[in-house]
Structure 1
């Protein structure tokens, strides 16, 4: 594993990278986030690596939700986010980005173990607004995917600039992607295989005029991927257009957990999406030419869970792998919760499984993975 010493307001150094090439594929200025598909090239090396989530983290980055987005539910959702942050902070450093007017509240709710950094944000979905980190020859880089509110479905005047401002604050080189997308659209084994849904990237609301082949080519160059495996996904049924991180996730190279319907689930677009993903995985091979071991991770029974609402995300696949622990939602269906925790323990035997109640976060259509973003490297001493 490549090790980075990462500090805020400090230069980054890399060790153990070995000898990498220096091919470049053009450049783009550090301009404002785009609202459509950026044109032209982007400065990015082919010789780079997007690591797997189980690699060492320097820290986890999160963002503090605002009343502008959450209204009367803001206190409840902040309690969920603070609970997630405190739990992760027992295993690795956590940085919480909070708007100036909310810094004091975030510090009080999260406690002294969480570092609160003043930076204007709108919502809690750090997975999508914080840059995607890649390891390159000269150190860590942040790929800014030009967040545009999941295809302009919501106005996020601050979140559109989180990628740029975060990288400036931490003095990490910024790569402005020649695509619009979100971190929740990307799942990798750390060895050059990328899993994505077509609905969340090959979509006129993000990348008008780009076909799948062109999107794939750009992803490979930006992230150092050798193979992209595509799933249909689901268009226009949720705000993300069906991110991969609630459908299928790696637990090791060649091993994936697949979100499948729970007991009593209807035959709907989501169950059909799961079935389509299975059919793809059964035929696909990874960047090394090997097939996949597909393990079902069933959803809870919606009749047994605490949460409700049309947007409620009851997917255990939206777990987060931290240093020494795996953080998984628990929904109140004891049988399903225990089953999910057991499956994850089987796949991460050397990590503690930490269940967390996230009912308000889930009511907003997301989960623990959606609310967190891992930064690769070794934790600061």
Structure 2
């Protein structure tokens, strides 16, 4: 079988019944169900949500996004074999662990297929909630240039590259472009301080100022729980990004929940602990692919400089990467997913048809 056939690269063309445009992100596509289908499924499946809650089908892909671009390789390989299934399996594992340990819920109601979530509509908090335990990546690059204040937090002198920070840091950034907030540039993904959030909590979509403490509590609890679990399989949880939102339960109570994915190699850095103790950084996350791209192209500034986005997009569009670069990443994703979940990741022979079959047979959602 052709490897490219086992990759789900396009996920916004499924015949799922919807009366709204399909929203396609870098990796996932979202199909909003009709009111009739949402209400029917809530009743049939007994989901603990308001009876009129809008539901969506979220389909993950095997696309690989890095430096805000989608990359492809030779031989028509438009994604990373096994990546979508690995990411969903890891997220599902952590969400289950969160539930067992009394942490907040997530927006996921059902998992019909390894590539698919059924989710309820949430009011998203407009923050990329980032937690860091080590000084590395962009933070290290800024620290090395002399910056000492990050998101309103002052770091001491004398910290080392890839070394543990004095404490777990919360360094949030904006999710989407927010307008009219004093001291916050009108751009996506800019660092913000806790004071920025406190002074403008409604603009960040918090229902109350008290919920800022709650989001930080959930962020630290989630980070610590995943970190403890990863330590048991000799992995280090270096840093991660969580997203939060609000939903209503069947009684109409609003609650803050985890959204999107958690603790995956796409949203986190994960290092091999035994290698780290030998002073080697072995990335069990997308970071290794980012490093490959920085070394692969003669002018890495294109990838790091936000003012050169047009050149960067052209680079991603016009260059077929070596097949090995995506296959190495495939092994990384599948290996870490199998370590975390203790389950084998099986590549679908025809993921698109499998999704159509299950959504038709068990959910009545295919026209």
Fold shared by both chains (TM-score > 0.5): no
Give the TM-score of the pair, scaled to structure 2: 0.27
TM-score by length of 1: 0.26
Query: Rg larger in 1 or in 2?
Result: 2
